[in-house]
Amino acid sequence: MPTTLNKIAKQGDNGATMMPIIQGVGRAAIEIAAVLRGAVFRGALGGAGSENVQGEQQQMLDVLSDEIFLDEMRSTGFVCAVGSEEQEELLVIEEYSHADYLVLVDPLDGSSNLDVDGPVGTIFSIVKRKTANSERPHVSDTLQSGQSVIAAGYVLYGPSLMMVCSVGAGVDGYTFNPASARFELSHADIRIPETGGYYSVNESNKDKWLDGMGDNLDRMKIETGLGMRYVGAMVADMHRTLLKGGVFLYPADEKNTTGKLRLLYEAIPMGFVMEQAGGKAMSNGIAVMDIEPEALHQRVPVYLGSNTNVDSLLG
Ligand code: AHM
Ligand code: MG
């Protein structure tokens, strides 16, 4: 019998409590994957005609994925509120507003890849509320550092459908098997190599990077001779970096002066997974996991990957 997501339930107290929510993420992933596969036939590719809170054009699939994810979190009965990259405000799940956990999500990361059938992903993390269960969940419940994350992970919609997640006891990867209609353990106890062969970044921005990162990258390239890979979807770039080693970065630049990637929906969940796999996740001079969030949609510079490569880039 293949090992399924049920493995998570056996990973200590956190695993047992997180299991229903992660199963909900799995159901959302299967639904989103089906919507992505059929999108071209349903006229669901392209803009939704709306902007998200960051002033970015939403794709129809961003909106659909957000709805699917929220519905599945509601159906678990364990989630009191969801903070989503696609929603300006914290979404309180009224029926379960007394529940213990909040989920932070980027429902469809890298959605600029959709028009060219490129990989996209879902990124999530789970925290326990700080407010009393009798109170209405509040945005302050989401403003907790990575040290408070109980579980986090991502879904990769690529040639196969994969979920990579951690409940704080290492990192496992599960691949959806269409024959059994289940996520099956395919990548047990993922450990990032101490050194990898690639750096991953949108290098076209280099002249506009702040904090001397252009010079750092040039120096690292000369010292290490690393090759370059960049998908432009963080989940895909993170996944390659996790399995093969190397470094992924998105520095602050003249346009995104505090960075582009979102602390709560992208940096912290990926930082959690990266550290659990033995790698490193840094922002400017501080570990991503030590940043105290100040706002739901806060952005930060991100440098994550193999210890050797992150150190050589930032060193
Ligand atoms: P999104 O959440 O709006 O899709 O934006 C995040 C994405 C990441 O997946 C990716 O790493 C980055 O934006 C790519 O940005 P760029 O096109 O500037 O290279
Ligand atoms: Mg994103």
- Residues 169-196 pLDDT 10s: 999 999 999 999 999 999 999 999 999 9
Give, for ligand 1, the residue of 261, 297, 302, 304 to mutate: max count of ligand atoms closer than 8 Å to Cβ: 261
Distance CA 125, CA 166 (A): 10
> Other C-beta atoms within 10 Å of 182: how many?
17
Distance CA 94, CA 90 (A): 12
Q: Mean per-residue pLDDT for 189-210?
A: 97
pLDDT (0 to 100) of residue 47: 80
- Range name among 41-45, 102-106, 161-165 with the lowest pLDDT average: 41-45
Q: Mean per-residue pLDDT for 111-137?
A: 96
User: Which residue has the CA at smallest separation from atom 5 of ligand 1?
Assistant: 110
pLDDT (0 to 100) of residue 266: 98
Question: In b/e form, how buried is each residue of 143-165, taking b as 16+ CB within 10 angstroms?
Answer: bbbbeebbbbbbbbbbeebbbbb
Q: 163, 129, 155: which is closest to 143 by C-alpha?
A: 129
pLDDT (0 to 100) of residue 277: 98
pLDDT (0 to 100) of residue 45: 85
pLDDT (0 to 100) of residue 255: 96
pLDDT (0 to 100) of residue 154: 98
Query: Which tens digit of pLDDT belongs to each residue from 40-71?
Result: 888 888 787 777 777 777 889 999 999 999 99
Which atom of ligand 1 is least distant from the CA of 54?
A: 3
User: Which residue has the CA at smallest separation from atom 11 of ligand 1?
Assistant: 234
Query: Which tens digit of pLDDT belongs to each residue from 251-303?
Result: 999 999 999 999 999 999 999 999 999 999 999 899 999 999 999 999 999 99
pLDDT (0 to 100) of residue 3: 96
Q: Which residues surround ligand 2, an ion (CB under 5 A)?
A: 106, 109
Which ligand is closest to the CA of 265, given by its number? 2
Could you tell me what percent of the chain has a pLDDT over 90? 91
Ligand 1 binding pocket (C-beta < 6 A) is 56, 85, 106, 109-111, 202, 232-234, 237, 250, 260
Distance CA 222, CA 193 (A): 21
pLDDT (0 to 100) of residue 157: 98
Q: Kindly give the distance from the C-alpha atom of residue 266 to the centroid of ligand 2, in angstroms, as a whole number.
A: 6
Query: Which tens digit of pLDDT belongs to each residue from 10-29?
Result: 999 999 999 999 999 999 99
pLDDT (0 to 100) of residue 58: 82
pLDDT (0 to 100) of residue 40: 87
Q: Kindly give the distance from the C-alpha atom of residue 268 to the centroid of ligand 2, in angstroms, as a whole number.
A: 12
Distances (CA, A) of 125 to 74, 151, 159, 178, 188: 15, 6, 24, 26, 20
Give, for ligand 1, the residue of 109, 209, 230 to mutate: max count of ligand atoms closer than 8 Å to Cβ: 109
Confidence of residue 313 (pLDDT cuts 50, 70, 90): very high
> Tokens 């399924």 sit at which residue?
4
Which atom of ligand 1 is least distant from the CA of 233?
A: 9
Is 198-314 CATH 3.40.190.80? yes
| Domains of the chain by residue range | 5-187, 198-314
User: 5-187, superfamily in CATH?
Assistant: Fructose-1,6-Bisphosphatase, subunit A, domain 1 (3.30.540.10)
Q: 33, 46, 31, 62: which is closest to 265 by C-alpha?
A: 62
Give, for ligand 1, the residue of 56, 58, 105, 112 to mutate: max count of ligand atoms closer than 8 Å to Cβ: 112
pLDDT (0 to 100) of residue 53: 74
CA dihedral 297, 264, 25, 169 (to 10 degrees): 180
Distances (CA, A) of 294 to 74, 83, 103, 262: 26, 14, 17, 12
pLDDT (0 to 100) of residue 43: 82
Confidence of residue 5 (pLDDT cuts 50, 70, 90): very high
Computed over every residue of the chain, the mean pLDDT equals 96
Which of helix, strand or coil describes residue 266? helix
